[in-house]
A and B are shown apart, each in its own frame.
Chain A
């Protein structure tokens, strides 16, 4: 079997092996590749930094297990950043898996104890179905949050939680943080358009172009795009995590993809010219 025949038959296996080797290699021996921080990530970081202590930040955990690699580490770094800034955190989710992902985030951020006193420094309102209707309901009426969530995720009546005494409608939300798979449109529609609520967002790669559209229009203050954005935020905030260690693997694998496209095309041209010549 010639090299050409071997390649023709086993190119998939070769490419997959290279992918795995590249990924494992940089975890075993980090290369220290440069990571330039983009403007949108700086704005995300600055939005949190600009919050005075005691501000209320709502955190929508709108992703599942598949997006953990891209958004999860940014979410952990964000919670640590909020703790450092002494911000009050209100967690909720309009995505079914959200409350369970939040448990992972809280564990990664140092456990529930690290967040302070439950009900005073943070609350977890759990899952609320209805997506856009739910988001609208939280902000619209003068007691929107209390009307939408009567009980928190742990079964406490939210009227008994001191933090919720300061959160009634859109006037009380100082910053809305969205960690998402799927579109940011419902939040922009229901929170930014009517009330100009400042929104920051961490999105998976597939939703990054859409999020950029809202960022360019001034509807989103800052955003983190995919794993690279998460790594940039970890670098800015100083809360190093999985994204920074994974981003080198991402670099190498994306380079491999670009080289594969070029090699595939050269091979294609070569075969066509050979067929034309004979």
Chain B
């Protein structure tokens, strides 16, 4: 009985909905489009629960860290929870359009996010000097386009040598796009295969079970 509840019924719901959505894409009518629209609305509602789950998870991890004082950064966990409660409180009680809420975001979150992102540039710079070494033929194949693409992306590159534009354009238009397309076609085929396996009950990880 529990197998029926935990596996067969969810699998049947999934398969019926998928089949309906696939067929409706090709032979949909205004009436079936409305049903599809409702199904999508359920999907949106369910995905909103991911936020609740995420919040629960982060609170659980940091409360445990504070209680046990098991990690050296437990004061940071406490600080994180305090700021989370404060920001969430303002959002819930005063609304997301409240000036305080926007101030916290624009003057604390955004600069910190931008700083974290900008720090990557420093790592890239030391990696450019230390790690990008042309020691094998394969590494030269990667390295030369990297230099050309850096100069192609720098507006000054074309002024230094017009060849950077032509070589950069060629790399961008042929090898780069070819690789990207191949990658995304592969992802598409894998996605279709995975969906079919899920519909046929061969892939059950999404039901909380290992695959067959």
Contacts and interface: CB of A to CB of B under 8 A. Distances in A.
Given A68-B110, A130-B44, A257-B128, A216 B155 contact: no
Contacts of A100: 96, 101-102, 105-106, 109
Contacts of B47: 129-131, 133
A12 B131 CA distance: 13
Interface string A245-269: 0011011111111101111110010
Contact of B36 (A66, A140, A153, A252): A140
A67 B117 contact: yes
Interface stretch (A47-55, A84-92, A207-215): A207-215
User: Which of A12, A34, A99, A141 has most B Cβ within 10 Å?
Assistant: A141
Binding site secondary structure of chain A: helix
A62 interface: no
Contacts of A66: 113-114, 116-117
Contacts of A153: 96-97
User: Which of B44, B101, B172 has most A Cβ within 10 Å?
Assistant: B44
A268 B125 contact: no
Nearest to B180: A213
Contacts of B121: 19, 253
Given A254-B150, A264-B128, A129 B51 contact: yes
A53 B103 CA distance: 34
Interface of B: 25, 30, 33-34, 36-37, 40-41, 43-44, 47-48, 50-51, 95-97, 101-102, 105-106, 109-114, 116-118, 121-122, 124-126, 128-130, 132-135, 143, 146-147, 150-151, 153-160, 165, 172-173, 176-177, 180-181, 184
Interface of A: 11-12, 15-16, 19, 33-36, 64-69, 96-97, 99-101, 103-104, 126, 128-131, 133-134, 136-137, 140-142, 144, 147-148, 153-155, 185, 194, 205, 209-210, 212-213, 216, 226, 228, 231, 247-248, 250-258, 260-265, 268
A-B pairs, top 7 by smallest CB distance, nearest first, are: A65-B113, A130-B44, A65-B110, A141-B37, A66-B117, A254-B154, A133-B43
10 contacts: A64-B113, A100-B109, A130-B44, A130-B48, A133-B40, A213-B181, A216-B173, A226-B153, A251-B157, A257-B125
